[in-house]
Amino acid sequence: MAEMEIDVRGQTCPVPLVECRKALKKASPGDLVIVKGTHPASRKEIPMACEAMGLTVLEIEDKEGGKEWEIKIRR
């Protein structure tokens, strides 16, 4: 299993979601995709999109006192 990290800090919608989807398409089943961002709406939209795609969101973690977030997704 591979691990892929997507850094979309400072980006606003729809960039974080688009970059996340690109990474998930490239990932193999079982791979871990870690998305790091700052945009509050993307923190909500990315997990909803992943669940709609049938993927497992392993963790959503707030960082830097809530200014940043990290979402871990299992492909």
Cα gap 10→28, rounded to integer Å: 27
Catalytic residue among 2, 13, 18, 48: 13
Q: Distance (Å, rounded) from C-alpha 6 to C-alpha 36?
A: 6
Number of other residues whose CB lies within 10 A of the CB of residue 34: 17
Give catalytic status of residue 50 as yes or no: no
Active site residue ranges: 13
